[in-house]
Structure 1
Amino acid sequence: MAKITYIEHTGTRHEIEVKPGMTVMEGARDNGVPGIDADCGGACACSTCHVYVDQDWVDKLPAKDSMEEDMLDFAWNPDPVKSRLTCQIKVTDELDGLIVNIPEKQI
């Protein structure tokens, strides 16, 4: 299990243990973390699971593919470096300690 920390825009923290093979979005959804809507269910067809990855983790995650890059154009206030869609981040043991910050709004 990997411990993922989801931080709401208000500063409220949710430390969740997520099974490898799941996505960061599924971990949030299955544990009731507010602010990650995941309207498309993880199909990379919306941007409602957008987060800002903690700077220390940016280079440790797999690169964004073109589909994720395209969907991030629709996210609220995307950051060219730190923005990610949680449905596109598969959890592995190496992600233990990952920190993501949930934006104030989801579009």
Structure 2
Amino acid sequence: MWLFTNNSFLSIVDKGDPSGKTLLVRARCAGDIERLFPEAKIQVGGGTDYRYRARIDREEVATVMADSIRNIDYRNFKSTVSDPDRHEAYMDVWSAMYAFQSIAK
């Protein structure tokens, strides 16, 4: 799952925790994981396309995501993204999905 917030972009996946109790939360930018999960122990590198990653309790991930939804107080998400580089990247995603809308079935 990709999760875009106004100050972080995360990829959240199940990468083989045998207990099923944790998820792997990944980010491309330093600080993105910690903004939502301040206590996370971040691993840097690892030879994959996501530079930052942390194993986080599945229930904590669900709670943080639910709280983020409960706390929405804006009418337009794009206008809440204050970092210009992040805003531009998010607009690229928005544009790609807008184009996809015209061909989606």
TM-score > 0.5 by shorter chain: no
Greater C-alpha radius of gyration: 2
Q: Which structure shows the bigger proportion of residues in helix conformation? A: 2
Higher relative contact order structure (alpha carbons within 8 Å, sequence separation ≥ 6): 1
Q: TM-score, normalised by structure 1?
A: 0.29
